[in-house]
Amino acid sequence: MGEVGSSEINQTARSPLGRSSLRQAPWWLIILGIGIVFVLLAMMRNEDYAKTLGYVLGGVGLSVFITVVAYVAALIIGLIAGLGRVSANPIAYHTATLYVEVMRGLPMLVIILYTQFVIAPMIGAQRNPALSGILALALGYGAYLAEVYRAGIESIERGQAEAARSLGMSAGQTMRHIILPQALRRVLPPLGNDFIAMLKDSSLLSAIGVNELTQLARIEGSRTFDYFRAFNSAAILYLILTLLLSLGVRLLERRTSSGRR
Amino acid sequence: MDDAKPIPHYIGTPIITMKGISRRFGHTLALDNVSLDVRRGEVLMIVGPSGSGKSTLLRCINYLELPDAGMVEIDGVVLSRHGVDLNRIREHVGMVFQRFELFPHLTVIQNIMLAQRIVAKRSPQASEQIARDLLAKVGIGEKADSYPVQLSGGQQQRVAIARSLAMQPKVMLFDEPTSALDPEMIKEVLDVMLDLAREGMTMVIVSHEMGFARAAANRVVFMDQGRIVEMGAPEQVFDNPHHDRTRLFLSKVLQH
Ligand SMILES: Nc1ncnc2c1ncn2[C@@H]1O[C@H](COP(=O)(O)OP(=O)(O)OP(=O)(O)O)[C@@H](O)[C@H]1O
Ligand SMILES: [Mg+2]
């Protein structure tokens, strides 16, 4: 209820004179967008550049695919671990905490190398580095998402759970029907930000030879000896993807904060 | 409030028995060996200064707060006994909170239907019918499809009461149900509670609404520092208190 009040205050503070709406416009984004369009146009006009761009573009699909699959897996792993982190059951709590602390204490690149060169051979899967990569990203990000869920769950006022329990709901029913629906709504924006972060971290999979965007840029650079063009192409493609996604997150943020929670 | 005593009903055998309840939070002894009976059909009011343990006592009744020592018995069931399903007990002990605690992601009617569906396992049709009847009873039938934030405080508290009533409680517990409300909304909530009292609902109410106490309460309990200091009919406790502490407290409350 407190939040509703404050969002009303924000709205009234924003509207007067209409001048603040000019300041509210995302100028940096518009300028960046125009810049990207110009750079793209310039690249297309140069035949070599267009070729390089076309080649690197071939990695976008795999980068996005890996990110989506790993992210969905991380959402599930994170939810389970997050529930463990708020659990009263000591086994669930300590297992989840161990997982979260270990994963968050390791560099993402180490998790990826470890998965590809230690875990994958054990299960006979080292032939498919994309699979190792998905597993590594899901495990690593599962830990971050677990903490996002935990924070969301803990942000729900204690009175909500007490009201539910006083109606005879079990702890599980209270979590499922009362706490989680409210917590998920609150954590949608941070979850979206972690999707963007994972898309960027998927570039680390070039270290284990996955033919995603960054890897293709490296191959193209070493083939043409023109790293400048190759990485410019990769950079502009990443920027387009992350900008579109962060726009999406902003929309999400606006909808969840103005809606009825 | 209304004309003198509007409570015609019969007050029966104890439905809640608390014996020797203690509860400690760190160094504070919130409840110190409290014993109390509540009888069927009785309206019991609990008053006392802030921090005297009123909420803790109320929350110990349905084990929302676990006592460190002592016994709670509701309708013949000792809550601490092995194998007692507390969810089944709580299902039939309604609780109304100072801050309403409606579920903000659900509409009014969904708020009243949810526990009927998943706890009492009633059909959607039966749950909805009961919910609509109760909404009409508390006087906000037209708000069924609103969300809690779209309601005034008084309306929200009436929905919260309806939500508890939908579980067909044997007892209703109220923790300062009107103290978060603007003065003009207090009456609409007290009126609903008065109706409940007239129907013979057993009610334990933490509240400093003296007028309501005089009109509806059978007994008033005065608590201080985790103990029951004094207990009796409202006229006796309010007009002729035996203890200095009660007198001091009443003089402060009545000044407001
Ligand atoms: N969860 C808790 N953790 C720590 N201390 C608590 C907790 N709940 C209650 N207390 C303490 O126990 C004592 C009794 O609290 P309680 O809420 O029962 O008082 P109250 O009579 O309801 O007061 P108020 O009129 O302010 O609501 C207080 O000293 C309070 O600080
Ligand atoms: Mg209290």
Contact A51, A216 (CB under 8 A): no
Task: Calculate the dihedral angle through the C-alpha atoms of B165, B168, B174, B175, rounding to the nearest 10 degrees.
Answer: -90
Asked if the model's pLDDT at residue A11 lies above 90, the reply is no
Q: Which of residues 175-234 of B touch A (CB under 8 A)?
A: none
- Residue B39 has a pLDDT of 94
Whether residue A38 is contained in a domain is answered as: no
Residue type, A220: E
Asked if the model's pLDDT at residue A260 lies above 70, the reply is no
Q: Left (φ > 0), alpha (ψ -120 to 50) or beta: where does A17 sit? A: left
d(CA B33, CA A247): 60
Of B46, B47, B54, B222, best ligand 1 pocket probe by most atoms within 8 Å of the beta carbon:
B54
Distances (CA, A) of B80 to A78, B65, B91: 36, 12, 16
With pLDDT > 90 as the criterion, what percentage of chain B qualifies?
A: 92
- Residue A249 has a pLDDT of 87
With pLDDT > 70 as the criterion, what percentage of chain B qualifies?
A: 95
Tens of pLDDT, residue by residue over B22-57, are 999 999 999 999 999 999 999 999 999 999 999 999
Q: Establish whether residue B55 lines the binding site of ligand 1, counting it when its CB lies within 6 angstroms of any ligand atom.
A: yes
d(CA B235, CA A146): 57
Tens of pLDDT, residue by residue over A197-227, are 999 999 999 999 999 999 999 999 999 999 9
Residue A68 distance to chain B (closest CA, Å): 28
How many separate helices (H) and strands (E) can be counted in chain A?
14, 0
Of the ranges A247-256, B1-10, B173-182, which is most confident?
A: B173-182
- Residue B77 has a pLDDT of 96
- Which candidate, B187, B130, B117, B129, places its Cα nearest to that of B158? B187
- Residue A44 has a pLDDT of 86
Mean pLDDT of A132-148: 97
- Residue A20 has a pLDDT of 58
Collapsed DSSP state (helix, strand, coil) of residue B128: helix
In this prediction, residue B130 has a pLDDT band, given cuts at 50, 70 and 90, of very high
Whether residue A190 is contained in a domain is answered as: yes
Whether residue A176 is contained in a domain is answered as: yes
Mean pLDDT of A40-49: 88
Burial label, A9 (beta-carbon count in 10 A; 0-12, 13-18, 19+): exposed
Collapsed DSSP state (helix, strand, coil) of residue B228: strand
Q: Does A3 touch chain B (CB under 8 A)?
A: no
**How many domains does chain A contain in total?**
1
- Residue A29 has a pLDDT of 80
d(CA B100, CA B108): 12
Mean of the per-residue pLDDT values of chain A: 88
Asked if the model's pLDDT at residue A228 lies above 50, the reply is yes
d(CA B194, CA B207): 14
Tens of pLDDT, residue by residue over A16-34, are 444 556 677 778 888 888 9
Asked if the model's pLDDT at residue A253 lies above 90, the reply is no
Distance B221 CA to ligand 2 centre (A): 14
Mutate to test the interface with A, among B105, B114, B167 (most CBs of A within 10 A): B105
Whether residue A15 is contained in a domain is answered as: no
Q: Establish whether residue B30 lines the binding site of ligand 1, counting it when its CB lies within 6 angstroms of any ligand atom.
A: yes
Interface contact flag, A177 B118, Cβ < 8 Å: yes
Mutate to test the interface with A, among B79, B95, B103 (most CBs of A within 10 A): B103
Within 10 angstroms of residue B19's Cβ, the number of other Cβ atoms is 15
Whether residue A256 is contained in a domain is answered as: no
Tens of pLDDT, residue by residue over A109-137, are 999 999 999 999 998 877 899 999 999 99
- Residue A256 has a pLDDT of 73
- The DSSP symbol for B217 reads -
Lowest mean pLDDT among A39-43, B94-98, B235-239: A39-43
- Which candidate, B182, B253, B216, places its Cα nearest to that of B45? B216
Q: Which domain CATH number covers A93?
A: 1.10.3720.10
Whether residue A71 is contained in a domain is answered as: yes
Interface contact flag, A169 B118, Cβ < 8 Å: yes
Mutate to test the interface with A, among B61, B102, B110, B118 (most CBs of A within 10 A): B118
pTM of the predicted model as reported, rounded to 2 decimal places: 0.87
Interface contact flag, B105 A261, Cβ < 8 Å: yes
Q: Left (φ > 0), alpha (ψ -120 to 50) or beta: where does B139 sit? A: left
Residue A153 is part of which domain span?
A: 62-210
d(CA A163, CA A74): 31
Could you tell me the maximum CA-CA distance found in chain B, to the nearest angstrom? 55
Interface contact flag, B87 A170, Cβ < 8 Å: yes
Collapsed DSSP state (helix, strand, coil) of residue B63: coil
Q: Of the bound ligands, which one is closest to the alpha carbon of residue B47? A: 1
Whether residue A90 is contained in a domain is answered as: yes
d(CA A105, CA A99): 10
Q: Establish whether residue B25 lines the binding site of ligand 1, counting it when its CB lies within 6 angstroms of any ligand atom.
A: yes
Q: Establish whether residue B67 lines the binding site of ligand 1, counting it when its CB lies within 6 angstroms of any ligand atom.
A: no
Whether residue A245 is contained in a domain is answered as: no
Write the DSSP assignment of B135-182 as a string of letters: HHHTT-GGGTTS-GGGS-HHHHHHHHHHHHHTT--SEEEEESTTTTS-
> Which is the closest atom of ligand 1 to the Cα of B28?
29
Interface contact flag, B97 A159, Cβ < 8 Å: yes
d(CA A241, CA A149): 25
Task: Provide the H-helix boundaries in chain B.
Answer: 54-61, 86-91, 108-118, 124-137, 153-165, 183-198, 210-216, 234-239, 244-255
